[in-house]
């Protein structure tokens, strides 16, 4: 374990945000630097997601479902789902937790990272895994990581595979159970 990781873990255990300490550590008052993690974020933001928050969520969802960048139409399905779900208070809270935690882990907006760095961050922190095992170490922000992995990841991956883009991956031309081509039902399958 390096000194840096030991320091980050120690600060995280004590409830301080190491990214904030690093950013603010250049001459600001000690009280501002040593403010507990999340204390500044305690009053929940009100209103709809900002366009930057939506961009971060779409970028995160894109990394979760594809090794390559999604086509604009496929990104559109994900964007539509996020905007629709964000109207519900519980989903809005999970989305905001996801965006703020991704920013804390990356040190800047998630969408501003290049694709390789996004994938590295998701892999390093096991953010693409939707299951949390009992006793599993979740890192510096355990409650936020639990929300991301059990709520946001499942939601974004599920949204993608419920869209026409996801249907195509499994070989469907139309959503299962819906009629796609009436002539298909009037002749034998080939």
pLDDT tens digits along 117-150:
999 999 999 999 888 889 888 888 999 999 999 9
pLDDT at 131: 87
Mean pLDDT, rounded, of the chain: 78
Share of the chain above pLDDT 70, in %: 63
Residue pair 62/119 in contact (Cβ under 8 Å)? The answer is no
Q: Does residue 35 register a pLDDT over 50? A: no
β-pair partners for 16: 36
Single out the residue of 133, 110, 106, 23 nearest to residue 62, CA to CA: 110
Look at residue 169 and tell me whether its pLDDT is greater than 80.
no
- Alpha-carbon distance of 124 to 152, in angstroms, equals 17
Kindly give, in sequence order, each residue whose CB lies less than 8 Å from that of residue 96, ignoring residues fewer than 6 positions away: 44, 45, 49, 53
**Sign (positive or negative) of CA dihedral 10, 148, 19, 36:** negative
Query: Which residues touch 95 (CB under 8 Å, ≥6 apart)?
Result: 49, 53, 57, 82, 85, 86, 152
Q: What is the mean pLDDT of residues 16-27?
A: 48
Residue 127 neighbours by CB distance under 10 Å: 23
CB atoms within 10 A of CB 103: 18
Whether 43 shows a pLDDT value over 60: the answer reads: no
CA distance 31 to 49: 30
pTM of this prediction? 0.68
| 8-state DSSP, 108 | S
Query: Average pLDDT of 38-58?
Result: 73
């Amino acid at each position: 374990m390096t000194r840096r990781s030991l320091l980050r873990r120690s600060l995280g255990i004590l409830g301080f945000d190491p990214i904030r300490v690093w950013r603010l550590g250049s001459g600001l008052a000690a009280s501002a630097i040593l403010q507990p993690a999340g204390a500044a974020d305690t009053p929940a933001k009100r209103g709809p997601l900002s366009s930057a928050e939506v961009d971060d969520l779409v970028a995160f969802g894109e990394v979760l479902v594809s090794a390559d960048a999604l086509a604009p139409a496929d990104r559109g399905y994900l964007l539509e789902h996020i905007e629709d779900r964000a109207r519900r208070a519980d989903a809005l809270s999970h989305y905001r937790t996801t965006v703020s935690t991704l920013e804390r882990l990356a040190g800047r907006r998630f969408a501003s990272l290049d694709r390789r760095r996004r994938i590295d961050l998701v892999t390093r922190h096991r953010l693409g895994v939707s299951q949390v095992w009992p006793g599993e170490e979740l890192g510096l922000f355990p409650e936020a990581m639990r929300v991301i992995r059990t709520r946001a990841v499942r939601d974004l991956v599920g949204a993608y595979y419920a869209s026409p883009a996801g249907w195509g991956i499994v070989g469907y031309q139309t959503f299962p159970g819906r009629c796609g081509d009436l002539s298909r039902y009037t002749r034998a399958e080939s």
